């Protein structure tokens, strides 16, 4: 159908597709602005403007795919990142996409502060997944963009993470979705607007929940090795490939996955549910995101699964520094991250995806990872590994 034919039939495009700015009016998410997208092909999703332009809901033909926690889409004013020994992130952790960074990812940690112009400050204390999450964005714009007879839905916002005598990082996020499609294009540009060289790290916590996540749901990905894990094989209760049902006492697992990319650098991965003949797909740029984690939280009442492209491998901040995986940005230097999220609809689409992955590399069989992937010199022995060892020692001593 041409644009002219469409407009002859519909007086307001929002009857079929569009982007509308709304605001939550009750509970802990009161006041959070949300851009509600509908592509006209069954896909609808929300972009949380006051949550770093992250994605909250993600529904296909009325079926929810995004994982949501009891915290709701809590407004940032109710969150303190450094609360509970730096675990404040967990008080607002919910939705399809949670952006982690912009200068730290993973567990609470600390590092030297000598790169900033404040001699009296010796250390920086980083909260879990950094301070870039849950930041109110400046909404640069949103709406429809016609290109001849094709229409695109779009929005763009800017997130600033800044402190006097410290970092001044900006994330500019643009999200687009073509009308008639079931996919989202995300382009992030992180830039240093300060005059001191500044560390930069980024991780996307992309969270999928029931009913797509269920017993027997499969991860399809060009995985070549399981580099490391946060728990030993004796505690791990499921492998990386086939997902488990909700399980009492399940200890959350993180796998650090080695992978291969296509010739253009793209990495296609998906969680598929054969019973529903449906899947959630992700493509990311391996030149920007060099690492991939998988999160399994299959406990009762939590039951979530995440794909986590990241700029550094699993472990502590010291591990990333030792391995040279912390990015240092000079004044006005930037990094660009391009990703695509999509619905994999139908058994034929799942088969085509499996064939695409097989052309990259045979998929690694299921199994358990080692406790950590220690190399000569010992990088990748993560904070959690050290803390677990310390706790076990204290328990034995007591």
The pLDDT profile of the chain, 398 residues, written as one tens digit per residue, is 899 999 999 999 999 999 999 999 999 999 999 999 999 999 999 999 999 999 999 999 999 999 999 999 999 999 999 999 999 999 999 999 999 999 999 999 999 999 998 888 899 999 999 999 899 999 999 999 999 999 999 999 999 999 999 999 999 999 999 999 999 999 999 999 999 999 999 999 999 999 999 999 999 999 999 999 988 888 888 899 999 999 999 999 999 999 999 999 999 999 999 999 999 999 999 999 999 999 999 999 999 999 999 999 999 999 999 999 999 999 999 999 999 999 999 999 999 999 999 999 998 888 776 654 433 333 333 333 333 333 333 333 33
Instruction: Answer for the pair 163, 114: CB distance below 8 angstroms, yes or no.
Output: no
C-alpha distances in Å from residue 35, one per residue of 10, 19, 133, 156: 22, 6, 18, 11
Contacts of 3 (CB under 8 A, 6+ apart): 146, 148, 149, 151
Candidates 265, 280, 262; CA nearest to 356 is: 262
Distance in angstroms (rounded) separating the CA atoms of residues 207 and 308 = 9
Q: Check residue 394 and give its pLDDT.
A: 35
The dihedral formed by the CA atoms of 89, 92, 93 and 96, expressed in degrees to the nearest 10: -140
Domains with residue ranges and CATH for the chain: 20-397 (2.70.98.10)
Distance in angstroms (rounded) separating the CA atoms of residues 55 and 187 = 13
Q: Check residue 282 and give its pLDDT.
A: 98
Distance in angstroms (rounded) separating the CA atoms of residues 292 and 222 = 11
C-alpha distance across the termini of the chain, in Å: 74
Measured in residues, the chain has a length of: 398
Q: Check residue 12 and give its pLDDT.
A: 96
Candidates 61, 112, 74; CA nearest to 328 is: 112
Q: Check residue 382 and give its pLDDT.
A: 35
Distance in angstroms (rounded) separating the CA atoms of residues 259 and 83 = 35
DSSP 76-109: GGG--TTHHHHTGGGGS--SSEEEEEES--SS-E
Instruction: Answer for the pair 116, 82: CB distance below 8 angstroms, yes or no.
Output: no
List alpha helices for the chain, DSSP H: 3-9, 83-86, 317-322, 347-360, 383-397
Distance in angstroms (rounded) separating the CA atoms of residues 304 and 302 = 6
């Amino acid at each position: 159908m041409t644009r002219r034919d469409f407009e002859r039939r519909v007086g307001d495009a929002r009857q079929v597709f569009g982007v509308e700015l709304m605001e939550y009016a009750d509970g802990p998410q009161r006041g959070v602005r949300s851009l509600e997208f509908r592509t006209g092909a069954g896909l609808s999703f929300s972009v949380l403007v006051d949550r770093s332009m992250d994605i909250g809901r993600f529904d296909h033909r009325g079926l929810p795919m995004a994982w949501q926690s009891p915290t709701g889409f809590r407004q940032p004013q109710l969150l303190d990142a450094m609360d509970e020994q730096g675990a404040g992130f967990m008080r607002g952790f919910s939705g399809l996409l949670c952006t982690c960074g912009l200068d730290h990812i993973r567990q609470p940690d600390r590092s030297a502060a000598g790169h900033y112009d404040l001699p009296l400050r010796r250390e920086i204390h980083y909260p879990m997944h950094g301070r870039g999450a849950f930041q109110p964005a400046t909404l640069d714009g949103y709406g429809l963009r016609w290109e001849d007879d094709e229409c695109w839905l779009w929005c763009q916002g800017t997130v600033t993470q800044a402190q006097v005598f410290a970092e001044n990082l900006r994330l500019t996020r643009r999200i687009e979705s073509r009308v008639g499609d079931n996919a989202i294009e995300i382009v992030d540009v992180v830039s240093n607007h300060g005059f001191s060289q500044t560390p930069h790290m980024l991780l996307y916590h992309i969270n999928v929940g029931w009913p797509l996540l269920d017993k027997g749901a499969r991860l399809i990905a060009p995985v070549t090795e399981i580099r490391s894990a946060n728990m030993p094989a004796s505690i791990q209760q499921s492998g990386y490939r086939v997902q488990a049902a909700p399980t009492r006492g399940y200890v959350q697992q993180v796998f650090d996955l080695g992978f291969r990319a296509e010739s253009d650098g793209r990495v296609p991965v998906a969680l598929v549910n054969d019973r529903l003949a449906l899947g959630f797909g992700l493509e990311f740029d391996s030149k920007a995101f060099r690492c991939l984690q998988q999160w399994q939280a299959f406990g009762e009442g939590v039951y979530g699964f995440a794909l986590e492209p990241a700029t550094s491998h699993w472990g502590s901040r010291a591990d990333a520094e030792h391995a040279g995986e912390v990015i240092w940005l000079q004044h006005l230097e930037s990094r660009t991250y391009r990703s695509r999220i999509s619905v994999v609809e139908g058994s034929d689409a799942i088969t085509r995806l499996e064939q695409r992955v097989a052309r990259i590399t045979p998929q690694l069989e299921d199994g358990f990872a080692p406790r950590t992937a220690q190399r000569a010199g010992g990088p990748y022995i993560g904070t959690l590994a050290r803390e677990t060892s310390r706790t076990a020692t204290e328990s034995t001593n007591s």
